[in-house]
Structure 1
């Protein structure tokens, strides 16, 4: 599946950290003003499956130690795809890019922080290769997606130009979730996507409480659990209310205890 990629690709590299002395370039991160990742659902005819575009310099053209604005735009098409699924699939960018040897991806939305190592660039790895990995993993892990194309932006002017549109999309997603209250639902959602970096970490997602990453809403959780019921985002039966003031439910406690392998026994969502 990845024979043409010059570095290894696999779950074994999840959680790999690239320290400052090991990095060739830093993409996004706290030292640059503009960075984001965005996934959009498009009509099938508007997506060229397998296409990877790089706007700006690729890794080999970046001086060692570069810190650059960075944007990842993933466009997907499929007859069963809906706009409300975008946030769910977007969060998979973090998951998939961390499978690449020598590439580190942290955070989400407009706070992404990526690094590529010197050794990986020396092996000939490029953004084109990274795009190919992302596309193949979307096809492999998300069969509902029929076409995928990826565009990387490392040109600072282009990243700055597109940045306001990314913020507009995030705000539109967030606005959908604001009207629903926790007491109006009988199901929450859990997420273990970050266990690649924090093995006992579990989020409980409610209408009033996003995942800790800030990228997965209750509506995103609902869509994700329907798409992949056995995946890292799953349904949590609320069960008996233990403390409505502190936000503690029997079902949420049971779920967190199981998914954290006992490291967390109880969760109070409002404290």
Structure 2
């Protein structure tokens, strides 16, 4: 499947960390203000299936050790998919890019941070064309409802700057749809273990009032993801008995978290930072922490 890719591709490389001294090039990250990844659902006649476009310098044209702005646009089409699945498709970029030997992808949306190792660059991974081929093949094989895919990598600073506000508008439009629904109004929550390759005992519990830690998956996104890929990293959680309304403890959540962490975590309180707080990994969009010396939160 990946014989035309100069490095290995597989789940074994999920969780691989690339330190600065081992880095050929960095895309996005904390030192770059404008970066994004975005999935868009289009009509079938708008997509040139398999097309990979590079706007700006390719990897081989970048200076070793430097950081660059980046935008990744994945446009998909299928007779049974609609715009409600954009967030689901978008979050798969993270997982699929981490399948590539020597390629580290962290975070999501407007916070992406990508590093390519010197070792993989020297093996021949010197073009976005290869990364695009991996994404294309994985999207088509892992999500059969996607019939066509075209992928664009943007590294031209002016173009990234132009498209960045539009990406933010798309994220906000998605988020607005998720506001208003309350936890008590549904009988199912959703869980995600996409980040267990980095944090083995972390499980996200996604509710109407609680996004995934990464900020990319709402309750609606979780529902859609579980429906289209029942064996994937996102799954339904039967809410079960409400044990404590104030702390946000549910029997179904406790049972699922215990199972998914192999017993390492046996209880989660969704509405408090004390005693049994929700788990996390390094891809969180925001985190609250208690400082006992001042009896306050940071």
The verdict on a shared fold, with TM-score over 0.5 as the criterion, is yes
- 2:128 match: 127
SS in 2 for 1:224: helix
> How far does the alpha carbon of each residue in 1:133-165 deviate from its partner, in whole angstroms, 9 at most, with x for none?
000000110000000010001111111100000
SS in 1 for 2:190: strand
Deviates more, 1:62-71 or 1:115-124: 115-124
For residues 52 and 227 of structure 2, what CA distance do their matches in structure 1 show? 29
- 1:96 match: 96
- 1:68 match: 68
SS in 1 for 2:88: helix
- 1:141 match: 142
In the alignment, structure 2 segments of 5+ residues that lack a partner are 273-298
- 1:46 match: 46
For residues 51 and 66 of structure 1, what CA distance do their matches in structure 2 show? 28
> How well do the aligned residues superpose, as a CA RMSD in angstroms?
0.6
- 1:248 match: 249
For residues 225 and 123 of structure 1, what CA distance do their matches in structure 2 show? 37
- Is residue 205 of structure 1 aligned with residue 219 of structure 2? no
- 2:77 match: 77
Question: Residue 47 of structure 1: CA displacement?
Answer: 0.6
- 1:13 match: 13
Moved over 3 A (4+): none
- 2:238 match: 237
- 2:58 match: 58
> How far does the alpha carbon of each residue in 1:150-202 deviate from its partner, in whole angstroms, 9 at most, with x for none?
00011111111000000000001100011101111110000000011111110
- 2:285 match: none
Question: Residue 102 of structure 1: CA displacement?
Answer: 0.6
In the alignment, structure 1 segments of 5+ residues that lack a partner are none
1:131-210 equivalent positions in 2, closer than 5 A: 131-210=132-211
- 1:263 match: 264
Question: Residue 124 of structure 1: CA displacement?
Answer: 1.8
For residues 82 and 231 of structure 1, what CA distance do their matches in structure 2 show? 19
Question: Residue 29 of structure 1: CA displacement?
Answer: 0.2
Question: Residue 112 of structure 1: CA displacement?
Answer: 0.3
Deviates more, 1:131-140 or 1:121-130: 121-130
Question: Residue 59 of structure 1: CA displacement?
Answer: 1.0
Question: Residue 118 of structure 1: CA displacement?
Answer: 1.1
SS in 1 for 2:95: helix
SS in 2 for 1:115: strand
For residues 190 and 93 of structure 2, what CA distance do their matches in structure 1 show? 20
SS in 2 for 1:210: coil
SS in 2 for 1:129: helix
